[in-house]
Amino acid sequence: MTTAPTMLNLLRFRARTLPVAIASSIGLLLAGVAITQANLPVWGGTLMFLGAIAVPVALKFRDDLVIWGAAACMLSGLLLLQGFHTLEHIVQLVQFYLLNRPPVDSQGLISSLNVEWVHFIWNWTVWGMVVYLMRNGMKSIWTYPFFAWMTLHSFEHTYMLLNYLHVSAELGQLNLPQFGSAQVLPGILGRDGWLANNLAFCRSIPGLSTLPRVAIHFYWNIGEMTLLLLAAREALPKMVKTAELRSTAKV
Amino acid sequence: MKKHIAKVIATTVTTSLLLIGVVVVQSQSSDSSRVTVAIRSKNSLLMAKTTCAAGFLEHRLTHTTKARDEQRAVFDSNGSGVAVADLDDDGLSDVVLGNLADNVSLLWNQGDFRFAKKNLVNRLDIAEQNTRAVAVVDVNADTKLDIVFTHTAGAITVWYNQGKRQFVQATLEGVNVPAYTMLWDDVDNDGDLDLVTSSYDALLEAEQKDSFMLTGGAGTVLYTNNAGVFTANRLTKSAQTLALLMFDMNQDGQRDLIIGNDFADPDTYWLNSKTGFSTTQPFKRITKNTMGFSSADIDNNGTFELFATDMKPKFDNLETIAKWMPFMERTYQKLQYKSLQRAENVLQTWTGNGYQNMAYEQNIDATGWSWSAQFGDLDNDGFQDLYIVNGMIDKENLKYLVNNELIEKNQTYRNYRGTFQKESTWNLDTQASGRGMVMADLNNDGRLDIVINNLETPAQIFENQICNGDSLEIHLAWSQVKNTKALGAILKLYTSAGIMQRELLNQSGYLSSNDTKLHFGFNKGTTLEKLEVHWSDGAISTLEKPQANSLLEITRDGGQ
């Protein structure tokens, strides 16, 4: 019988710590040189780094799969990816508020992926993963608020994608190229968003319809990450047990 | 015929109601240093409201402001202004429309929204063209209103009113710095009219090329009137000014000067004191491309709000957003969180401890490519509504659009006790590329009509047919001083529904000049308790129980 992991155990690289550390060092070094010496954009350097650590990190997930089963492995991956995603939003916030950069230069570490299609696919993929996890034991008092939160977040990205497609079609009719600013149209919440345009009284509520997109999505992700951690912590032992029972039943 | 009879009756009633000699010398101010002065008043009934409808009726005028067709004329896209005032003392306000590649129009008001058009032609048979701002103001203090123009390049010209609908063109001695915008007011409160002009240097550079560098520049100039001689005091050596306004920024009772600049040149703010002007910065957030200024006490709380127009589309209209996209791409490129300026309208509201921009909260921050904005009580309910004209034609920036034109509807906002809500039922949603715009009661029926000088589209008048409420209109005169029309005066109307106030400003909005007749609207049944006139020299006059639905002609004799 496998001992149920704690959250920290799940997130640790364990036997893969040294390969990940070496790959990270090489990745950081190469990315740093490429950015500072070869004028590679930050997003290019970030992709180099992610490429360098891809193999040892993938091996860590294979370990998770073998030890604790598919659900825990997926949860582990989700925590890591969503954690990086949240870090991306923190960087955006720092760029915007602390470094006082304009929105077009406050797009995080992988700015070229800061496009509506990526946000849309990312959020609904995460949504799909969560549905899978819920069907495989991730059920706790925190799971349902987490699920509701991320569903609403995904709807916001759907609304933004539809707006983007609408504007893109209009730009196409005008024979105009697709502009970067079309990617940063407001959503349902935030400054100039649907709520602000359709329910004027909301404009006086601080935050809800006054914050810029960069801050709104920071809060969406901070909320999502917090609820995910709480749900995962609560449900992890049950998930491992469910996986064990299933494998026992198969045997 | 019926209208004619109505006019005759109204005139008869008017004559019979002449009340001369109402003199009230009673101070209502808590400030004991305020001087109270005597006034004469004459009361005549306004015309009855003969037509009633849900909104406004459009009249197209026989004037079209034409842009020059040359490539250099890129700033012709900015269009021209408009002025409304009674130039021939027949009791009906006339209209002066500026023009660029064609002649300026003077439209004599014949009543019933019929106008007789006349061009202003000088002794050399040259018609006035290429004008920007228009002002109707008594420059030479002969009590007759003159017409003043700024131009695409060069100094201002004055058309002195000779009476009997005749004008003579002249230049003002000592006033020679190129001007795009102008402001006439008793800036130093000495009883005569001073002049502030400011240039739009981008236009001068485009027109004059390298020679602009040799002209000594332009900028903002305060011309102080000393016994009819203007003395220049240059406030700034360069400017990109599209709007000027007198506005009391620090609530000290003294009106200050605001200079609104285009192209990210920050607006400049000049505090007015007995020792002269000094710069200040009273606002935390301001417009980036200031197009127009207007002010009003929108919630009747005793302080005036300042509204400035800029360029920002409404994000709920994605077709329009797409048309803006290439322009926004550049405009928003450098938008920073901490930036003082932002490309959106602002509504500066006094909080008791400084100003707060409330345009976003009021949902009036994004109204399109906005030019002239004016406040006025269009539905006579006691609160001033807001009308904003929009549109742009630009061969450079909008060359990707059909006819290089960004077509946008004008925006109307109805004021519900200090809160604005978009109003789309008044038939004011025209999309004719408006620039200059003013509100004035053109048929003396107690309702504010709207005059718009469009670019490349005939000018329009919107006849107000809303039959709500009652009104009071006031015409001020100040004899024995050179500020004969009492510019700068503030009127406070005390009613059972609260205190309303209006300021007699010659210039507001964009390149436009207001009627000398002020308008108050209020709901039916409202009791009018008294009217206070706060003259520009600080003196106060009071008139008890003014009559609703009448035109009050108030005259002050001397007193400086």
pLDDT tens readout for residues B456-494: 999 999 999 999 999 999 999 999 899 999 999 999 999
pLDDT, mean over chain B: 90
Question: Pick from B29, B165, B202, B32: which is nearest to B89 by CA?
Answer: B165
Q: Across the interface, do B338 and A100 touch by the CB < 8 Å criterion? A: yes
Q: Name the residue facing A176 among B326, B335, B363 (closest C-beta).
A: B326
Tell me, what's the pLDDT at A3? 66
**Which chain A residues have a beta carbon less than 8 Å from that of B322?**
167, 170-171, 174, 176
CB within 8 Å: A102 and B319: no
Phi, psi of B254 (to 5 degrees): -105, 125
Chain A CB contacts of B360 under 8 Å are 191, 203, 210
| Phi-psi region at A56: left, alpha or beta (left = phi > 0; alpha = psi -120 to 50) | alpha
Q: Name which of B314, B322, B333 is nearest A102 (Cβ-Cβ).
A: B333
Nearest CA-CA distance, residue B420 and chain A, Å: 10
User: Residues 193..212 of A with a Cβ closer than 8 Å to B: which?
Assistant: 193-194, 196-198, 200, 203-204, 210, 212
Q: Minimal Cα distance from B313: which residue of A?
A: A192
Q: pLDDT tens across B172-210, in order? A: 988 989 999 999 999 988 889 999 999 999 998 888 877
- pLDDT tops 80 at residue B319: yes
Helix, strand, coil distribution of chain A in percent, nearest 5: 80, 0, 20
Question: DSSP secondary structure string, B19-86?
Answer: -----------S-TTPPB---EEEEEEPPP-----SSEEEEEEEEEB----STTGGGGGG---EEEE-
At B428-437, the pLDDT tens digits run 999 999 999 9
**Number of cross-chain residue pairs from A and B with Cβ atoms under 8 Å apart:** 69
ipTM: 0.83
| pLDDT over 70 at B447, yes or no | yes
pLDDT given for residue B31 in this prediction: 46
| pTM (two decimals) | 0.90
Do B333 and A200 make contact, defined as CB atoms within 8 angstroms?
A: no
Nearest to B326 among A179, A191, A203 (CB): A179
Output the tens digit of pLDDT for each of chain A's 251 residues.
556 678 888 888 888 999 999 999 999 999 999 988 988 888 888 889 999 999 999 999 999 888 888 888 999 999 999 999 999 999 999 999 999 888 878 888 877 677 888 899 999 999 999 999 999 889 889 999 999 999 999 999 999 999 999 999 999 998 888 877 666 789 999 999 999 999 888 888 888 899 988 999 999 999 999 999 999 999 888 887 776 666 666 54
Strand partners, B420: B415
Listed residue (B526, B527, B524, B514) closest to B475, CA to CA = B514
Q: Do B322 and A167 touch (CB under 8 A)?
A: yes
Of B318, B362, B421, the CB nearest to A166: B318
Q: Do B323 and A186 touch (CB under 8 A)?
A: no
Contact (CB, 8 A) for B552 and B18: no
What residues of chain B lie within 8 A of the CB of A167, using their CB? 318, 321-322, 325
Bridge partner residues of A151 (DSSP): none
Average pLDDT (B356-362) is: 95
